[in-house]
Structure 1
């Protein structure tokens, strides 16, 4: 938002793999509020609407979903049911909220908050096929000065209750660029992934030992979090202990090949 009501703005990013849909919401907000007992949308937070099977219906029909998370860790999960929303109790939905600032203090200037969400495909009807479209809508709730959110802004569609108005996303396969031999890509494995402590073992293909590699770990915004330069053995420990839980990318490169793989710390 830009104007007299609020200077809050948000960036939404999505990613996916065979198991989950991943969503990251980065909100810049100078004053963070979480002082309302209910409902969840009366405090600072974000609401995600998804239509994974591209139903494109004019009401909250079966097969569409919404997930609301606020900075006070209140949630609201609902699914479409014919023409209205109903309670939804999925299994395996994980989220993390990082608050950059102090809550309920109008005398200072905060930075904002980040919400990371992982939604299992098997809880929303299965993974959509490659090269098909699905619907997504995003709503930001902004409590400007406490006591309840003054602004409820739809950022990617006209009506949260009409999936036919939501933004359409084309599901495309990942494209890796660079001078890479496909057999070499398959020869590099990273485990455990996800990791519960930030430690990953990288297993290299035959012939990799003794060659100099550069390993970089970046966050979803491309910020470098770790860099390692070394001559490698067949198996190497990459110690990212200390990084916060979330989604990262590990780039492994030498003069002959390059590969980037998504890693998760939980």
Structure 2
């Protein structure tokens, strides 16, 4: 077996910051990051070094935002990775701990998101399924008043990022991970709806299971949507470590996606 050669030098906080600066991360801006760190190669300091590099480039006036979603806090009837027996569903709905922004970990968003969530001074929105964490001057405005219903729509941090003309960085991941594209689903009148459930804390220190009606989120075509968006030259693509970074203005991506969904999903349904 032929061994994979090691890079000439390990990647560091300083070298990653240089890559991010060259990619176009804006000092003083607001940046939503979706990341998988393994494609970056060996990073001296791991997730901590990546967060530090991002903050170095953003500077003291910039704000770093990550998704800290908790998809396991959902109706077990819809679980498929893995599914659970139907006779477990009532037990899970009755016993799953209520979402606590300070305590509930984000298990499926990657190590960078969890690093930011636990960073001193980070603020987190209180949605039981699709919370976001933020570090920086605009953090409070971004995570405040995250509505339970229309959870990635106009009452969500995604809409606040749109208001703030934020950037989106896909770091080692493709457009299938671009949560901002879900905001376009809420701005697309034909979006189907679904019943959603989660465990939440109550004001008296207890917990309860709540249900609500929301958009039936569907990212199955986001990779194709993103490829079409890249074809407009609106995405800056460059090396970050051994991996690839994709940087875009969130407004441009969402506005493009609204029109794209109207053309393509309606065509598929016809």
Normalised by the shorter chain, which TM-score bucket? under 0.3
What is the TM-score normalised by the length of structure 2? 0.25
TM-score scaled to structure 1, two decimals? 0.25
**Bigger relative contact order, structure 1 or 2, given CA contacts below 8 A and separation 6+?**
2
Considering fraction of residues, name the structure with more strand. 1
Normalized per residue, the structure richer in helix is 2
Structure with max Cα Rg = 1
